Each structure stands twice: as C-alpha cells, then as structure tokens.
Amino acid sequence: MKALVTGGAGFIGSHIVDRLLERGDEVVVYDNMSTGLEDFISQHFKNHRFKLIHGDILDLERLTKEMTGIDIVFHLAAHADVRSGFIDHKIDIEQNLMGTINVLEAMKINGVKKIAFSSTSSVYGDATIIPTPENYPFFPTSLYGSSKASAETYIATFCEYYDMTAYIFRFVSWVGERYTHGLVFDFLSKLEKDPTCLHILGDGTQKKSYLYVRDGVDAIFTVIDKAKEKMNIYNLGNDEIIDVTDSAKVIIGEAGYKNVRLTYEGGDKGWIGDNKYVLLDTKKLHSLGWKAGKDTREGLRITTRYLLNNPGVIKKRNGRLAPKS
C-alpha cells in the first residue's frame, strides 16, 4: 500500500507514519511544518519507502501532483487548536474545511479511493448523552468542531459521488510520546514558570477522556483492516474520565513538584467553546476487537515524562500555535 499522510510530521501523524512503515507500506508525508517537527520523522529519512514533501494542503496543484499513485490518504493536517476559532473566525474553515476539500479534489483527480480522516469529539459539543455514541447529532460549540463536522459531510458526499471509502475517526484528546499541545503541555509550561502555583482554567470539575497515542494508532488500523462500510465512522477514546483537578495532581506528582497551590479561573468550562464532559461511547470500536492498553492516568504520566525528558519539544513548539493561557 502507498499512503499519503497529510500532517505526517505532527504528533499523531508521525505515529501513523511509524506504523505504516512497520507494516511494510510506502509513505509520503505531506506537511507544511507549521506545527509539525522534523525530529518526529527524521528517523525515516534514509528509508527508501519514505518521502517527505514540504507542502501545504491549500496548494491544490502541488497536492494533486504528490498524490499520484497513492492508494490511501490519511488526512491529519489541520488547525488543531480548538480555542483560537473564537478569535479568528476563518482559520478553521480555511485550514480544516477548505483543506479537506482540496484533499478530496486531489483524490478525485488521481482516482484515490480511500481516506482516513481525523475528526473530533468536538463535533458533538456539550452532548447530553454520556458516553456519547456515533449517532449523536452534530452540535459543535467551537468553530473547530464545526469545521470538522462540515469536513465529515463533504467526505460523505465525495464518497457518494466518486465511489470512495472513508474511515472517520472522532478522537478524544490524545496523549503520549511527541505530544506538543493540550492540557499536559499547558500545565507543565505554567509550572516551569512558577513551580509553586498552577492556575487552572474553569473550576477544575470539567471531565475529559484521554487516549494513549499507540492505542489510538492500533484502533485506526483495526478499523481500516476490519470495517467494511462505505462510510466507517468510529469514536476513538478511552472508557475512563478524569476531572481537570485530578489530571493536574497526576501531572504534578509525576513531574515531582511539591506543595503546588491550585488556583481556579472559575466557571464550568475551561474556555468559550470548551466542553464540560467528554466521554465517547466506544462499543462500536470494541466490537472489532480493539482494547486500550494504557489507562488515562498512565497516559498522562507517560506524557509528563516525555515532555520533561524532551524540553526541546516545548521550546520548538512554543511560538507556533502555542497555548494562549
């Protein structure tokens, strides 16, 4: 199989690249390096089955050219910062929706028939059914969620028009090696500045689910290998939920900080557009035989250790889509 991975130099994309190469597949990474890091894929530079293209998904001509001979596209390139759509109302539509339409156009022109797409639990918004199943309606509370929901509907239509098959993955937050943005990153960045106090957005009772990256990659390939529909839509998440205060305690404990005072911004959400409870129903995924190998706390601890052992990651990533809190 020859795969093109948009966003293949990013946190999740680079793990997909590792797995494809382990399976014996050929891989083209197509990435504009806006938030991706060469460090995450440089171990493959000498592999003849690997190629890196510095390209933007908004450049349709280039994308179309690089998609020649591809069997499957893993589309991960995105503006992956949920919060900033509140400030910039166009970025999610440009990067996440228009970017996806370009990917679909390039697939159509090249006759590529399979797409795996990284969607999000944010498409459900503040769901009233917890755990939230795949057939819960789209009710996004962020433009990031709206753009991903819209992209899913475009993918569905292209599948219908051009006989494509789609694997849509609605992710909770991922953690693990090469993690570069999100709660653990925010907390460790703050603690580095002031080890005596951690300021938490919201009241700390927000509850979230976290998926360890290698478990998530296992889930993606389980679905691709076993699911048989035209549109294969799967929630990807852990079955546990943890509140933000407990997450903070796990991270502080693993990082070895002592006597940290927790302070709270207040309000029942971390930011405008945040969702207070995120727990997805993963029965459909489990029915294919997938099981998470790491629990939520272990995932948070691994991520904490990874960031502490790789301070360069925080430095390189800061300034490029860095958390604004």
Ligand X SMILES: NC(=O)c1ccc[n+]([C@@H]2O[C@H](COP(=O)([O-])OP(=O)(O)OC[C@H]3O[C@@H](n4cnc5c(N)ncnc54)[C@H](O)[C@@H]3O)[C@@H](O)[C@H]2O)c1
Residues near ligand X, by CB under 6 A: 6-7, 9-13, 31-36, 56-58, 76-78, 80, 95, 99, 118, 120, 171, 173-174, 180, 182
Question: What is the C-alpha separation between 141 and 69, in angstroms, rounded?
Answer: 39
Question: What is the C-alpha separation between 239 and 144, in angstroms, rounded?
Answer: 24
- Which residue, among 173, 156, 174, 172, has the nearest Cα to 164 in the 3D structure? 156
Q: How far is the CB of 184 from ligand X (least distance, A)?
A: 11
Which residue lies nearer to ligand X by CB, 124 or 290? 124
Question: What is the C-alpha separation between 118 and 87, in angstroms, rounded?
Answer: 23
Q: How far is the CB of 205 from ligand X (least distance, A)?
A: 21
Which residue lies nearer to ligand X by CB, 260 or 280? 280
- Which run of H or of E encompasses 119? strand 114-120
Q: How far is the CB of 268 from ligand X (least distance, A)?
A: 21
Which residue lies nearer to ligand X by CB, 260 or 300? 300
CB 138 within 8 Å of CB 174: no
Q: How far is the CB of 256 from ligand X (least distance, A)?
A: 25
Residues in CB range of 117: below 8 A, 6 or more apart: 75, 100, 151, 152, 155, 166, 167, 168, 169
Question: What is the C-alpha separation between 34 and 56, in angstroms, rounded?
Answer: 9
Q: How far is the CB of 196 from ligand X (least distance, A)?
A: 29
Which residue lies nearer to ligand X by CB, 170 or 260? 170
Which residue lies nearer to ligand X by CB, 260 or 290? 290
Helices (H), the chain: 11-22, 60-66, 91-92, 99-110, 143-162, 183-193, 213-226, 244-255, 283-286, 296-309, 311-317
Q: How far is the CB of 293 from ligand X (least distance, A)?
A: 17
Which residue lies nearer to ligand X by CB, 58 or 130? 58
